[in-house]
Amino acid sequence: MRYALKIEYDGTPFCGWQRQNGQPSVQQTVEEALRRLEPDAPGIGAAGRTDTGVHATAQVAHCDLAKPWEPFRLMEALNYHLKPAPVAVVDAAPVDDGFHARFSAMGRRYLFRLIARRAPVTHDAGRVWQVRNALDLAPMQEAARHLIGLHDFTTFRSTMCQANSPVKTLDRLDIEARDYPHGTEFRFHLAARSFLHNQVRSIVGTLERVGAGAWHPDQVRTALEAADRAACGPVCPPQGLYLCGVVYDPDPFATA
């Protein structure tokens, strides 16, 4: 039987989602927990291959198990065997054999957290990107509007990206600011059917330059139209990035 798993993890100690020889990965950690339940359980697939240091609040994977499991008991059993790794199965649901966590997905949502403050972060260390300079929200929002819609995103694509085409539709790019006594947190909300490798981090790193006053908002449009990786701003670090949603129709967890 096939099951969909919704998985939350802190990406700090991992080389990313995908299994790699000699390095700890989220995929390997979950597969080892599954094989404590069924030693012959096959490998699992996921909706997105998050990079080193990237987190997730709602990664989705599918697994095949020989015996039927009540979803709650499967979730509880896996979480028992996942300890003490910073990985948790937060939901589980039976799905038909045609369901594939990656290829059945109709959309993905990411959150990027950026904190502008002078003092080092403590509670959020490793979970946000901290910059020491103040940022202006309005210019970043203006620049972000140039990126919404169907575009050739070559400028914001890693040179190692394996996607067949750089043309993607960015459905959402919203930025909100939350002021605190000692700084401001900026949250970037992005949604698309799929993303290119390093696309989100390239976009956020470029928009940070706009917020800092180093770029004019119209320069983001110029960089996009250049379709040249050299025109991109700096790529921001991974620790502020979260995979926070995967869209399916029907939603396998709606009645789980």
Residues labelled as active-site residues: 51
The helix (H) or strand (E) run that includes residue 31 is: helix 26-37
Q: Tell me the C-alpha distance between 76 and 80, whole Å.
A: 6
The helix (H) or strand (E) run that includes residue 171 is: strand 167-180
Q: Which amino acid is at 104?
A: S
3-state SS of 85-125 is CCEEEEEEEEECCCCCCCCCCCEEEEEEEEEECCCCCCCCC
User: 130: phi > 0 → left, psi -120 to 50 → alpha, else beta; which?
Assistant: beta
92-124 in b/e burial notation, b at 16+ Cβ within 10 A? bbbbeeebebbebbebbbbbbbbbbbeeebeee
Task: Let me know the angle formed at the C-alpha of 17 by 6 and 67, rounded to the nearest 5 degrees.
Answer: 50
Own/partner contacts of 26-31, CB < 8 Å, gap of 24 or more, are 26/50, 26/56, 26/59, 26/87, 27/61, 29/82, 29/85, 29/87, 30/5, 30/61, 30/78, 30/82, 30/87, 30/89
